[in-house]
């Protein structure tokens, strides 16, 4: 689910860049729409209204071709709900992140119903094009590789050119998640994690002591900070600014609990649901420590 949530975050944070990349043209005024499509609630990954084109751009992100219900049926269901609500053309694109040799269907057909949508295989895309924008830069590690250079190293170097340390750390953490679909973890640690650690005041001390556990802990903290940023952004997008008490509760969660929250938050109907979830999780932590 980390891949799915990160993709949703990037598409919601950089809707214009995704629309221009996928539609191949400059986009004017647009609006990120709510992704929950009523009836029996189902939630799309990304829905953007391109005002100038009078067009809805609907994106779904997939790691594997199989899903339940099947992807063709889901895309038909999404299309019907979007068209029914907004009454404008809907362009649907399913972005597949992990390379596969399996056939990927592009249509739903049964009896008198026929619905088609686009698919885009990220591993066939031009990595240089993805590296032109911050919003798509983390995805570049999954794109078509250049023959004479290491794509992961090139992306890492591009991130290193970012003007602020906060943005670099965020991009490194995001890129680590996607890189796990293609690269060996040791290579990921070497090219990405060390760059994050070098910005830490304790980095030189860790290197001098040569404590492997220290390096691993630093990596864990970097990953957790990246996950926290994504969760905070998604919660703010849905419920507005969070209270200081709520933010502190989230910051006390472990990495696995942060990942659980990143999945659960898409089912929350209001900020009260978030409070209930955090209270229940906090109770579990206290009871666990007492036992």
**pLDDT tens-digit profile of 149-206?**
689 989 988 998 888 888 888 888 889 889 989 988 888 888 876 545 454 433 344 4
Using CB atoms within 10 Å of the CB of residue 204, give its burial: 0 to 12 exposed, 13 to 18 middle, 19+ buried. exposed
Task: Calculate ∠ Cα 120-125-126, nearest 5°.
Answer: 155
Q: What is the pLDDT of residue 124?
A: 95
pLDDT score, position 258: 79
Burial of 194 (0-12, 13-18, 19+ CB in 10 A): middle
For 194, the token pair is 């060390």
d(CA 118, CA 71): 12
- Distance in angstroms (rounded) separating the CA atoms of residues 36 and 18: 20
For residues 31 and 288, the answer to whether their CB atoms sit within 8 Å is no
Residue 167, token pair as written in the block? 């943005």
**φ, ψ (nearest 5 deg) of residue 78:** -60, -45
The number of C-alpha atoms within 13 Å of 24 and in the hemisphere containing its C-beta is: 2
Which residues of the chain fall below pLDDT 50?
A: 195, 197, 199-207, 210-215, 285-291
Per-residue pLDDT at 290: 45
* Predicted TM-score (pTM) above 0.95: no
How many C-beta atoms lie closer than 10 Å to residue 195's C-beta? Answer: 17
Residue 218 · residue 206 · CB < 8 Å: yes
Give the pLDDT of residue 32: 87
Token pair, residue 75, equals 């895309």
Q: What is the pLDDT of residues 247-267, one digit of tens each?
A: 888 888 877 787 788 778 777
| 98 touches 63 (CB < 8 A) | yes
pLDDT score, position 86: 93
Check residue 58 and give its pLDDT: 97
| CA R_g for the chain | 20
């Amino acid at each position: 689910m980390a891949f799915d949530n990160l993709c949703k975050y990037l598409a919601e944070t950089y809707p214009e860049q995704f629309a221009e990349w996928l539609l191949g043209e400059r986009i004017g005024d647009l609006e990120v729409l709510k992704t929950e499509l009523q009836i029996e609630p189902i939630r799309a990954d990304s829905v953007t209204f391109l005002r100038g084109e009078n067009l809805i751009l609907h994106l779904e992100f997939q790691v594997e071709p199989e899903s339940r219900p099947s992807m063709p049926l889901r895309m038909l269901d999404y299309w019907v709900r979007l068209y029914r609500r907004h009454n404008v053309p809907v362009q649907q694109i399913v972005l597949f992140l992990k390379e596969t040799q399996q056939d990927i269907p592009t249509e739903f057909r049964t009896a008198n119903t026929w619905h088609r949508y686009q698919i885009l295989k990220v591993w066939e895309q031009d990595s240089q094009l993805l590296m032109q924008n911050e919003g798509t830069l983390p995805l570049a590690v999954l794109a078509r590789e250049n023959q004479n250079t290491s794509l992961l190293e090139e992306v890492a170097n591009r991130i290193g050119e970012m003007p602020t340390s906060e943005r670099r750390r965020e991009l490194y953490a995001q890129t680590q998640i996607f890189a796990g679909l293609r690269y060996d973890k040791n290579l990921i640690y070497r090219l990405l994690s060390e760059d994050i650690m070098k910005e830490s005041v304790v980095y030189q001390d860790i290197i001098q002591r040569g404590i492997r556990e220290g390096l691993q802990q630093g990596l864990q903290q970097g990953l957790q900070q990246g996950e926290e940023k994504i969760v905070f952004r998604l919660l703010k997008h849905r419920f507005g600014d969070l209270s200081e008490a709520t933010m502190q509760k989230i910051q006390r969660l472990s990495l696995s609990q942060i990942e659980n929250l990143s999945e659960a938050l898409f089912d929350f109907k209001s900020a009260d649901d978030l409070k209930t979830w955090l209270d229940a999780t906090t109770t579990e932590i206290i009871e666990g420590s007492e036992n």
